[in-house]
Amino acid sequence: MAAKKIGSRIGSRTLKKEISELLREKRFDNAVEGIRRYPHRQVIGPLFSFFFGNDIVFWRAISAMGIVVSEMADSGAVESARVVIRRMMWQLNDESGGIGWGCPEAMGDITARNRRLAEEYHRILISYVMTDGNFLEHPILQRGLLWGIGRLAHARSGLVEYAAPYITPFLASADSFHRGLAAWALTPIADAPTKALIKPLADDNASLTIYLDGNIVDCTVADLADKAL
C-alpha cells in the first residue's frame, strides 16, 4: 500500500527537521518512503539545504533529490522537474554568487534515474568538465562533478561516451579523489586508448572515499582503476 500523503500545511522549519531525521534513518529505503509522503515540490528546498559536507546525510539528500525529481517528471510535472535542474544550473553559474555544492552530483543522479531528463540535460552536465564549455574550476566541486558524470555513465553509458577525452586529464591530477573518481567515471565508457591511460593508476595506493550503492566506501585509486581495466 502506498504511503499516505501529508498535506502542505507544515512550517518550513518543521519540515526541514523532519527531512533531516528521515535522512538519518538507519535504512535509506525507509527514509525515501517517509519523504514520499510529502508533495514533491515541498521537499525540494529542504533537500537543497543538506547539500554540504561529505557525510551520509549529504549523499542521501543527493539520492533523495534524484528520486523526487525523477518522480516529478514521470508523474506529469516534467516542467517542475526542469525548474529544479535549472536552479542547479544557476547555482553553478558564476553570476549566482554561490558555489553550487551538491548540484553536479544531484544532476548526475537525476539524469541517471530518468531517461527523459538525461536526454535533455546530459550535455549540460558534461559541459562542466569541458575546458571549452562551462568548465568548473573549483577542485572540490570537480570531485562532485566527476561523481555526477560517473553516476550517469554507469546508468546510461551511451549518452556520455563522447565525454571520455574531457575526463581523462583528471587521471593525472594531484588530487587522489580526481584520479579515482575519473577512473570510476570512465569505467563504462573506456576504450582501449583510455584504458591505457588508466593503467598506471593500478599501482596508485592513494586513498579516497566514494558513495556507491547507498554507502560511503573507503578505497584506493588502484581499487577503482582495477575495475576500469
- Cα gap 72→44, rounded to integer Å: 11
CA 100 to chain centre: 12
Mean pLDDT of the chain: 95
Helix (H) or strand (E) holding 212: strand 207-212
Q: With a cut of 60, say whether residue 192 has pLDDT above it.
A: yes
Mean pLDDT calculated for residue range 23-48:
96
- Cα gap 201→41, rounded to integer Å: 43
Q: With a cut of 60, say whether residue 5 has pLDDT above it.
A: no
pLDDT (0 to 100) of residue 97: 85
Query: Please, which pLDDT band fits residue 44 given cuts at 50, 70 and 90?
Result: very high
pTM: 0.94
- Cα gap 217→31, rounded to integer Å: 20
Identify the three-state secondary structure at position 205. Answer: coil
- Cα gap 229→222, rounded to integer Å: 10
Q: With a cut of 90, say whether residue 10 has pLDDT above it.
A: no
